[in-house]
């Protein structure tokens, strides 16, 4: 019995060692994959806004829900105030209300917003605390940016745009530099004829040669399909190109 027990133990011990070797090898390979992924530069081109809304939607809006999908009306027991501000070219105008229904002054204010205007909404409301059952006074704040009815688009779509950026910018960056390169941000405007205008560095790589390479790639892009209003008018739209290493 003792001999059998020893042999049995040895077999299990050997199996455990093999399993440990397999796990260690697997973890090592995963680390290599993780490191390789972390060293890849991530890049993106997007509109310069977080949450967009069209002029047409603002013109038809009657309630907060109309301008903000997912508006949490069910969690609001009552209102203390609402304020809407429209900021266009640095100039701000505001109108106040009492609840989620937009009053005539607020509705008229929203109709003055242009493409690129920011709509800032501040709401004071009452929410019943589910633990104490007492009403809490709370505030909600969100920002919308007015975007074209049809946004500007690169010819061939995003995949073609990605291919262009890899060939003319990303693949030309020296690996030794990109490993330590801080995030870079370039803003540019697609004009009403699809041309790239006003391209500029807003967050630098701290390397003049790298900044120049990335900026030239943006400036030399083919013409885009310009943005369009609901009336079919061609209008300009601002975008941003971000690139950086997301690894640690």
CATH number at residue 227: 3.30.1150
pLDDT value at position 148? Answer: 93
Show Cβ contacts of residue 178 under 8 Å, excluding neighbours closer than 6 positions. 39, 41, 245
**In this structure, is residue 47 part of a structural domain?**
no
| Residues near 166 by beta carbon (within 8 Å), at least 6 away in sequence | none
168 lies in the same domain as 143: no
Bridge partner residues of 91 (DSSP): 88
**Which among 130, 147, 164 is the end of a domain?**
147
Task: Answer yes or no: do 100 and 162 share one domain.
Answer: no
Phi, psi angles (nearest 5°) of residue 193: -105, 10
In a domain, 93, yes or no: yes
pLDDT per position as a tens digit, 141-164:
999 999 999 999 999 999 999 999
27 vs 102, residue with greater confidence: 102
Q: Do both 185 and 167 map to the same domain? A: yes
User: Which one is predicted more confidently, 38 or 123?
Assistant: 123
Give me the number of domains the chain comprises.
3
Residues 102 and 121 in one domain: yes
Residues paired with 109 in a beta bridge? none
**Given a cut of 50, is residue 65 above it in pLDDT?**
yes
Question: Would strands 234-235 and 227-228 be described as parallel, antiparallel, or unpaired?
Answer: antiparallel
76, 126 Cβ separation under 8 angstroms? yes
pLDDT at 246: 56
Domain assignment present for residue 2? The answer is yes
Distances (CA, A) of 238 to 44, 163, 178, 185: 14, 21, 26, 13
Give the residue numbers spanning the domain of 122.
52-147
For residue 21, the model assigns a pLDDT of 42
């Amino acid at each position: 019995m003792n001999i059998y027990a020893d042999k049995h133990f040895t077999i299990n011990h050997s199996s455990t060692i093999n399993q440990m070797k397999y796990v260690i090898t697997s973890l090592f390979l995963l680390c290599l994959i993780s490191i390789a992924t972390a060293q890849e530069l991530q890049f993106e081109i997007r509109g310069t806004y977080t949450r967009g809304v069209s002029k047409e939607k603002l013109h038809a809006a009657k309630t907060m829900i109309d301008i903000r999908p997912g508006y949490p009306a069910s969690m609001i027991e009552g209102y203390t105030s609402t304020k809407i501000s429209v900021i266009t070219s640095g100039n701000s105008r505001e109108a106040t209300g009492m609840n989620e229904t937009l009053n005539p002054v607020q509705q008229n204010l929203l109709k003055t917003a242009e493409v690129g205007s920011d709509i800032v909404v501040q709401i004071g409301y009452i929410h019943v605390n589910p633990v104490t059952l007492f009403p809490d006074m709370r505030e909600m704040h969100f920002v919308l940016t007015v975007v074209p009815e049809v946004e500007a688009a690169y010819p061939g779509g995003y995949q073609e745009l990605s291919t262009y950026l890899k060939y003319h910018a990303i693949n030309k960056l020296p690996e030794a530099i990109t490993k330590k390169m801080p995030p870079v941000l370039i803003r540019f405007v697609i004009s009403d004829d699809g041309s790239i205008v006003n391209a500029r560095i807003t967050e630098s790589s701290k390397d003049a040669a790298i900044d120049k390479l990335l900026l030239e790639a943006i400036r030399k892009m083919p013409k885009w399909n310009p943005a369009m209003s609901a009336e079919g008018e061609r209008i300009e739209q601002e975008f941003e190109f971000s690139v950086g290493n997301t690894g640690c």
